[in-house]
Structure 1
């Protein structure tokens, strides 16, 4: 880790700790731009002789944006220079915003990552190669959290929650947000670029889970 990376990490930790002290129920928001996950075999076809190089560390442990990009080609159009995320996975998939389905011409379903049954296919192309990937989805909004966070919020894996986002000039309520607790996850809500834009999400914007009202009957 370089000195600059260490300083960035320290600043992030200090900022998050300060936010947690001020509001322990605040959930940071991560805006998920379109991206690609590849199997090792597909990576080798698109980037022969290369290793996946880290461009930027992501918030979830072990996950990173790589320096490698490729074009996503659909029946009607192309998304150029789409970032590949690492590490490699057991199945290649492409995650896009709903507005981008029209440009590509693919009826991408709204799914959690990895739920690819019946999802349409696109071509991925670099200067060195091309592959066809069956698995284009619009990511369903969700919250990564630790097991401790899950206990605090009173949720378990797969539960749906309602989330409130108060940003400048726009109060937005998002239903059907999926809880994704795991031992090593860091608390973060993931929205795609369409959803974040609609809610006017800024770098300091946070989300809050709206507690369910318990019936007295």
Structure 2
């Protein structure tokens, strides 16, 4: 195919529902945009929450804007440190996953589910998908080339929408394995 894809590391983070945001930070609270992310409309927030599991806890960044459901995205290494079994899922697919406690400055929330290790994926526009010869939900392999640790990631889901910008997202465990930052090429 020839065209490369930016491979970005998605570090552990939390997406909050508006109700959970208000429980953690106070009624009517609005997230503060610290930095825009590569996906249009997405941003890293100034605010952080403490994520508490059976074995440990850690502060995590919040990504905005708010969502319909609260979700905690971690690497499998993060999940072990927290003592939580994180299932590998697409973002938003939280049914049947582990829960945890979130602690903010104004309160705490026990989420019954929502802790996941995000399935590696590529965000792309319909034009990008056409250029790569893929469709939404296609599963591909991506060859990632880096200075010292090139590898091939299998089971990469293509996510196609007009609201996306072309980028592959992997978690910190995968990023370390590949020696990221790096670029990738779809090899199907």
TM-score range, shorter chain: over 0.9
Match of 1:108 in 2: 86
Unaligned stretches of 5+ residues in structure 1 = 1-22, 213-217
Q: C-alpha distance in 1, partners of 2:101/2:129?
A: 38
Report the structure, 1 or 2, having the larger helix content: 1
The alpha carbon displacement at 1:24 in A equals 6.6
SS of residue matched to 1:87: strand
Pair 1:142 & 2:121 matched: yes
Render the CA deviation track for 1:177-211: whole Å, top value 9, x for unaligned: 00001012110000100000000012xx211001x
In structure 1, distance between residues paired with 2:101 and 2:121: 27
The ranges of structure 1 where at least 4 consecutive aligned residues each deviate by more than 3 angstroms after the TM superposition are: none
What TM-score do the two structures reach when normalised by structure 1? Answer: 0.83
Q: How far apart are 1:167 and its partner, in Å?
A: 0.4
Alignment partner of 1:125 out of 74, 82, 103? 103
Tell me the residue number matched to 1:26. Answer: 4
1:56 matched to which residue of 2? 35
- Does the CA-based 8 Å contact 2:2-2:185 persist in structure 1? no
Higher relative contact order (CA 8 A, sep 6+): 2
Greater C-alpha radius of gyration: 1
Match of residue 184, structure 2, among 174, 195, 207 = 207
**What is the rounded CA distance, in whole Å, between the counterparts of 2:163 and 2:49 in structure 1?**
30
Higher strand share: 2
